[in-house]
Chain A
Amino acid sequence: MQDDPAALKYSRMKSLWEYANPKKFMQVSGAMLPWAAGLSALCLVVGLIWGFFFTPDDYRQGSTVKIIYLHVPAALMAINAWLMMLVTSLIWLVRRHHVSALAARAAAPVGLVMTVIALVTGAIWGQPMWGTWWAWDPRLTSFLILALFYLGYMALWEAVENADTAADLTSVLCLVGSVFALLSRYAVLFWNQGLHQGASLSLDKEENVADVFYHPLLVSIAGFVLLFFALVLLRTRTEIRKRRLQALMNRERMG
């Protein structure tokens, strides 16, 4: 039986789901958290210092271009945080692992902060470049709408008292919201063609930024990914502790 690839795959899958057990998750995440936090700090320090002090000024944008090392990683994480919430929400709805739902809850405020960082750094960058803090450009507007979705999602978590009910409702909202966020993205593109430059990181080499800017940017992105990971781990651990406390209080009440 061991040689049967399907059986092998199943046993691997099973071991992956083991981490959805709150107790197991607490052990593993507790061991991972210092590493994730330390690596993230290292990458951020290296990436940002390299980016700010050891790259040349852009021939058109001058030194303002250096805000890219905050703007692009934050924007990337703002979207990826929502994608992660979508995946964990689906896992909760299908397999009903508490850790998954709590991880989605934990990621939302981090994602919102990333969205706000992307919007604020964008405004600071846009002021000298476009001569305005804010324009109803499709990319800016899409991020603003994304921020509204984060707000609604978090507000629903706060409003519902029963934790499992809240997890179910927010998961459904996350699914529906994802579809509408995507729709809004294209609707906004239709509505206004915009000022924003093309993607900074696309597979199309022509459009991409030059290598001198690119390498520190990659380090900086790695730092933001690790920072997001560390913050979500930390917040998920807090949420699990809160639920454990609640469960203990419930048990006491039942006597």
Chain B
Amino acid sequence: MIALLRRDLAIAVRAGGGFGLGLAFFLVVVVLVPFGVGPDTATLTRIAPGILWIGALLACLLSLDRLFALDFEDGSLDLLATAPIPLEAVVGVKAVAHWLTTGLPLTLMAPVLGVMLNLPGQGFVWLVISLALGTPALSVIGAFGAALTVGLRRGGLLLSLLVLPLYVPTLIFGAEAARRGAEGMAVNTPLALMAGISFACCALMPFAAAAALRVNLR
């Protein structure tokens, strides 16, 4: 399993792996927001946590369709399914690799973009904590969506349609925690609820995703 993680990370960071694309997309989305809503700093301060969360979520979505599709096309997925590792673990490891190459860098980059959106000083730590706890759920829910659409020709668009509604609870609690943090309110409740969702997703979604993959490999 370590070997699979190392391979996926190596492929992601080498040429053509698309490692920086998600980060660049995040940057562009956040830069475009002030053009849309105006440069008024009070407005930007108010919407900064939500914008950063939505930007991170969309950037996360961007790389999902490659999660299993590449392995499906070159036959690796067939071989992994007949390997001694259970398919659930394969899904889990690939979701971890996705988080390490997408969710984690996004979390680290969010405070930098927070400065551009005039996020209040007390909000930074809660923004990072909420993203760090929430992005694993985004990766593993995304892995389920990717597993459902792996064999399809126009899978990318469908993947967004399937995955975005599933992101609603995570987004609500995550953005709420970041917003309350920025306004100096208590963040415990939304943060605890989101962490609960995140852990439950990490524990259960690999099974659903592996079931979908098995169906698609038939």
Contacts and interface: CB of A to CB of B under 8 A. Distances in A.
A7 interface: no
A156 B193 CA distance: 30
Pairs A-B, 6 closest by C-beta atoms:
A187-B169, A168-B215, A148-B165, A187-B172, A183-B169, A152-B162
Given A169-B148, A169-B212, A175-B208, A184 B168 contact: yes
Interface in A134-186: 145, 148-149, 151-152, 155-156, 159-160, 165, 168-169, 172-173, 175-177, 180, 183-184, 186
Given A149-B165, A168-B215, A190 B173 contact: yes
Interface size class, chain B: 20 to 34
B54 to A, nearest CB: 14
B113 interface: no
Nearest to B214: A168
Contacts of A168: 212, 215
B154 interface: yes
Nearest to A179: B204
Interface string B124-148: 0000000000000000000010001
Contacts, number: 76
Nearest to A146: B165
Interface size class, chain A: 20 to 34
B193 A172 contact: no
A165 B218 contact: yes
Interface in B16-64: none
Nearest to A93: B211
Nearest to A151: B161
A180 B165 contact: yes
A184 B169 contact: yes
A137 to B, nearest CB: 14
A186 B158 CA distance: 26
A172 B148 contact: yes
A151 B212 CA distance: 19
A159 B158 contact: yes
Contacts of B190: 190
Given A160-B152, A169-B148, A183 B215 contact: no
B70 interface: no
A187 B168 contact: yes
A191 interface: yes
B73 to A, nearest CB: 17
A188 interface: yes
Contacts of B211: 172
Interface in B184-201: 189-190, 193, 197
B173 A173 contact: no
Contacts of B165: 145, 148-149, 152, 177, 180, 184
B206 to A, nearest CB: 12
B158 to A, nearest CB: 5
Nearest to A160: B152
B166 interface: yes
Contacts of B197: 183
